[in-house]
Structure 1
Amino acid sequence: MQTLRLILTDKFIWLLSGAVLLATLVPVQGSAKDIAGILFNAGIFAVFLLHGIRLEREEVKAGLGNIRLQGTIFIWVFGVMLIVGLLLSKFLVQRLPADVALGFLFLAVLPTTVQSATSYCAIARGNVAASVVASALINLVGVFLSPLLFALLAQAAGVQITSETIIKLAGILVLPFVLGQVFQNWLRPWVMRHKDLTGWIDRGAIALAVYVSFSAAIIAGMWSRVSGTEFVWLAAALLLWLGLAFGGTWLLGSWMGFVRADRKTLLFSGAQKSVAIGAPLAAIIFVPERAGLVILPLIFYHLAQLFLSAPIAVRLAGDKMSD
């Protein structure tokens, strides 16, 4: 019952699912598309401004003390998961539409989640402080590293990060984060007092990015371009990746000799992928028609990881094994 309650009360699951459904039924187009684009840019700017305000510098310094755990999470996210995604993308290029197969590589370069990784780590009674720092640092690095890795590995698919794209990335993702850090001392108390409001700004902006990207893809005939057989390949590949991600991090934690609390941190911080970075990044790099197809694996993976994390966290919360 606790697992079901966690899933049913996760507002982000409903919000993302609703964005996809709304885009399918009522895709944004015409003059409304221009307005949605302005709101999207403003929303993503606000999201990264809030990230900069929330990420307390002293927390980062304290969390860096556990270099072994933090280094393992970093290598897993940007090393092991990158290799898995690259191999899956190459394998699926003959079995899925090109942009959907490319989406597995795009998924591979993304950092971990922040809020859900930390929340499920707390439910599982893991090392929450280390989870907060790991997720925050990996997301900070991911703003710079993810587009660079993707550009280097996706050249064969005709993806190029132009100077215009770099300027847009800097203006919408990097600049607000830096401003948040600069004005953190003045703004952080207000943000922390209004967590519900700022949380909805986060989730709403990400859902809007998904809605805008999916709308363009729907208008371009996305569902007719992905057949039933191709959806089976997509689902099978995502299930395989989920198994490798969650099972691999747990086994790696045991092999590295981490205490149980740190293994739980590695599990949730290493296996999850962030739609908060992925959706706006895809919208900046790709034209809308391509962005919707590229983020298809990301959306399904993100929803699946939330459904999977709930029962795992509940099960690990009752773990009485000693170290």
Structure 2
Amino acid sequence: MRRFLPDNFTLLIAAAVAVASLLPARGAFAEGFGLATDLAIALLFFLHGARLEAATVRAGFLHWRLQLVILGLTFLLFPALGLALGLVPETLLPHGLYLGLLYLCLLPSTVQSSIAFTAIAGGNVPAAVCAASLSNILGVVISPFLVGLLFTLGGGGGISGDAVAKILLQLLAPFLLGQLLQPWIGGWLRARKKLLMPVDRGSILMVVYLAFSHAMVEGVWNDFSLRDIGVVLALDVLLLASALGISLMVSRKLGFAREDEIAIVFCGSKKSLASGVPMANAIFPAATIGAIVLPLMLFHQIQLMACAMLAQRYAARAAAREATAARA
């Protein structure tokens, strides 16, 4: 039953939402907390750049066929699914939550969980490391571009020049600076993952608290009901099931080995909360971020539970094949 329970980080996110609901940031405190959040996000992307070895980026391009499939699933299939959700009537799915679902579909893949599930399932871990890393590197540029393009089609107003400048300054510039300094500080940072975890998770919790504080102050939640949240949950499940099924079918149709299939399934079906929440903070007006990131936070927990079960099934099948081969 433990695999059906929320992970600790999800519980912390829920706690941040609860605190924002009871004690939302207002006035001068909100402004100061917003500045601190911006600095924390810049530090987060600097650390991402500094910890990622340049050799990993180069290796990501060597298995180009696998990488193209995963990037296609992430930045072509998912956006197409997101646009298809626009067919759901607004009487069933409020427009603000639809935009959150569309935004979710435009994000890069996860890094840690994609690699972890690939390893549990017995897949191609080096390919998963390269694919997930490459997805996040390109996502800093591709995701905002897709937001600007597809939100106009989806009635979301596109992306402003100020938002583009903020992305370049707050996300891309720190990441590139981290890459430049990686040869000198990368090894030290990689050896201290637990020490730096509070920066990774703390920055996301700060954004969540600030986003839901703005939502409370602006009265955004007055527009949504429990039924609306239930519809978002159902559509999140539908998105994940579609992505898992299509990624499995594509990998088999193209003749990938089992290990590569596993990497494709786990890297091509997931969406990154760690990149999505800070990016939303840079792209969208403060009053709308709560509704934008809510579908992503729900999707985060759903994908962890579903992929944990799927990884265990892959591992069990591999163990059964090994046992059969040993008896033969």
1:264 maps to 262
The size of the alignment, in residue pairs, is 319
Would the alpha carbon gap of residues 75 and 112 (structure 1) be closer, same or farther in structure 2, given more than 3 Å must change?
same
2: distance between equivalents of 1:274 and 1:159? 23
1:151 maps to 148
Deviation at 1:55, TM superposition (A): 1.6
Q: Say what the alpha-carbon RMSD is for the aligned residues.
A: 1.9
2: distance between equivalents of 1:270 and 1:276? 16
Confirm or deny that 1:118 pairs with 2:96. Answer: no
Rg: which structure is higher? 2
1:316 pairs with 305, 314, 317, which one? Answer: 314
2:25 pairs with 20, 24, 28, which one? Answer: 28
Do the aligned residues in 1 keep the contact of 2:232 with 2:295 (CA within 8 Å)? yes
Code of the residue aligned with 1:208 in structure 2: it is: M
Do the aligned residues in 1 keep the contact of 2:204 with 2:278 (CA within 8 Å)? yes
2:243 pairs with 242, 245, 259, which one? Answer: 245
Q: Once the two structures are superposed, what CA deviation does each residue of 1:232-281 show, in whole Å capped at 9, x if it has no partner?
A: 32222112112111222222222222111111111111111011221122
Unmatched segments (≥5 aa) in structure 2: 323-328
1: distance between equivalents of 2:287 and 2:255? 46
Unmatched segments (≥5 aa) in structure 1: none
Confirm or deny that 1:178 pairs with 2:157. Answer: no
Code of the residue aligned with 2:266 in structure 1: it is: F
Q: Once the two structures are superposed, what CA deviation does each residue of 1:191-236 show, in whole Å capped at 9, x if it has no partner?
A: 0121102222111111211121122112223333112332232222
Code of the residue aligned with 1:130 in structure 2: it is: A
2: distance between equivalents of 1:155 and 1:307? 33
Do the aligned residues in 2 keep the contact of 1:96 with 1:226 (CA within 8 Å)? no
Would the alpha carbon gap of residues 158 and 70 (structure 1) be closer, same or farther in structure 2, given more than 3 Å must change?
closer
Q: Once the two structures are superposed, what CA deviation does each residue of 1:121-148 show, in whole Å capped at 9, x if it has no partner?
A: 1122211111111111111111011111
Provide the identity percentage: 37
2: distance between equivalents of 1:96 and 1:117? 29
Do the aligned residues in 1 keep the contact of 2:99 with 2:156 (CA within 8 Å)? no
2:290 maps to 292
Do the aligned residues in 2 keep the contact of 1:234 with 1:297 (CA within 8 Å)? yes
Do the aligned residues in 1 keep the contact of 2:104 with 2:296 (CA within 8 Å)? yes
Of 208-217 and 228-237, more deviation after overlay is shown by 228-237
2: distance between equivalents of 1:52 and 1:92? 41
2:167 maps to 169
Deviation at 1:152, TM superposition (A): 1.1
Code of the residue aligned with 2:114 in structure 1: it is: A
